[in-house]
Structures are given as structure tokens and as C-alpha cells.
A and B are shown apart, each in its own frame.
Chain A
Amino acid sequence: GENVEQHPSTLSVQEGDSAVIKCTYSDSASNYFPWYKQELGKRPQLIIDIRSNVGEKKDQRIAVTLNKTAKHFSLHITETQPEDSAVYFCAASKTSYDKVIFGPGTSLSVIP
């Protein structure tokens, strides 16, 4: 089955700096890669996703890149703000209608 790894497990950045979280996946049949943000005590929420027919996608301060050949994908957050502090999970799925397998998570702290 699919296995998703994620690095780093914790990340601390100064407000205004960029944060990068990297993930790898094992199943070459995966084609859908969502990213979720989970604030303390709250439910995970989708922040951005990317499909295998696209190499990069951007939404304001958040961007994701995908290298399907290498089975790598990354989340980039620019101009970080304290409210970006949360746990971020990458995930992989065959399609957006299939089960989603999560990475172990990255705890991001943005220091004011």
C-alpha cells in the first residue's frame, strides 16, 4: 500500500520567512496530493491540492510542487504569519475519490 513520509517533523521560522515541507510517496499509482492544516484541537482542513498532471500550483502565499518521477512533493509557505502555526499533513491518493493516506505531519511554529 501507499506510504507517505514527511520532513521535517518540526519547523520553526521567524515571521515573514518562508517555510518548506517536503514529502515522498511510494505508490506510483497515486495521482492526487492534498495538504491539510490542523490547528490545535481542531479538525484538519484542506489548504491546497495538486494532481499529477500539474507540476506546480499556487494560491496566494501557498504553493505546492510535484515531481512525479521522483515521487516528491512539497509545500511552500511564503511571508509566514503567526496564524500559520499549526500541524501540516501531506497526503496521497490514487484519485480525489479514493482513500487518502497521510504523512506523519509537520508542526510549524511561526515566531512573531
Chain B
Amino acid sequence: GAVVSQHPSRVICKSGTSVKIECRSLDFQATTMFWYRQFPKKSLMLMATSNEGSKATYEQGVEKDKFLINHASLTLSTLTVTSAHPEDSSFYICSALTSGPNTGELFFGEGSRLTVL
């Protein structure tokens, strides 16, 4: 299957700093990527849809100024958590949509565990 790589896998930062997480599709081009947040033993909560070359579409309740998403190329989307606070600590996971004549399959990155001190 297709490979999606996410970096960093773990990051610890001080409150008030910004953290950037990268999501790359390694062997395919992804015009659409999705960013999810997952709390321990909980489901994946969709944060935003990232489309290459256009602004991201955020889900209701997700602060766009807090979670900046950029999808500048067909293989890279980034999520920047700005002015992070302890409540932003979570597991962030991206996914990329493959394209094809009949089906689009969603492949997930390894996830990034953010801890804000």
C-alpha cells in the first residue's frame, strides 16, 4: 500500500511555543490530506481537510488560527500548533487520500505525540 510518513513522532515543548508537524506522502501524490486528533483511548476527531494549493477547511470548533495547516505541494502538508498550551497535548495523526479511477483509499501517518509542558 501507499506510504505516509509523519514527523516528528514525538515532541515536547514549552507552553507558548509553536510546533510544526509534517505529513508526507512518500510514493504517491495526495491532493487531499486530513488532520486528526486522537485522545487516549478515544476516536479520531477530524480537525481539518487540507487541499493542495488552497486553504484548509476546518471542522466546527477547531481554531484555524491555533492550528495552521499548509499544503504547499502534492506530497507535503504541515500542521503548526501555535502558542501551544498543555491542553493541546494530544496525538495528532495525518492521513492522505490516494487517487485512482475507481477508489480513494485513506492511508495514515504514524502520528505525532505532542506534549506541552
Interchain CA distance A103-B42 in the complex, whole Å: 10
Q: How large is the interface on B (under 10, 10 to 19, 20 to 34, 35 or more residues)?
A: 20 to 34
Residue of B nearest to A1 (CB): B60
CB distance from B77 to the nearest CB of A (A): 14
CB distance from A108 to the nearest CB of B (A): 13
- Answer whether A100 and B93 are a contact pair too, CB < 8 Å, given A1-B60, A44-B108: no
Inter-chain contacts of A101 with B (CB < 8 A): 46
Inter-chain contacts of A43 with B (CB < 8 A): 93, 108-111
Interchain CA distance A42-B93 in the complex, whole Å: 11
Render B42-69 as a binary contact track against A, CB cut-off 8 A, 1 for contact.
1111100100000000011000000000
Inter-chain contacts of A34 with B (CB < 8 A): 106
Number of A-B contacts (CB under 8 A): 44
User: What is the number of residues of chain A that contact chain B, defined by CB distance less than 8 Å?
Assistant: 19
Instruction: Determine chain A's interface SS by DSSP, over half rule.
Output: loop
Render A7-42 as a binary contact track against B, CB cut-off 8 A, 1 for contact.
000000000000000000000000000100000001
CB distance from A34 to the nearest CB of B (A): 7
Inter-chain contacts of A1 with B (CB < 8 A): 59-60
Contact, CB under 8 Å: A96 / B105: yes
Residue of A nearest to B109 (CB): A43
CB distance from A47 to the nearest CB of B (A): 12
Inter-chain contacts of B42 with A (CB < 8 A): 104-105
Residue of B nearest to A100 (CB): B106
Ranked nearest first, the 4 interchain pairs of A and B with the lowest CB-CB distance are: A43-B108, A96-B104, A97-B104, A104-B43
5 more A-B contacts (CB under 8 A) besides A100-B34, A102-B44, A103-B43?
A44-B93, A46-B106, A89-B44, A102-B46, A104-B42
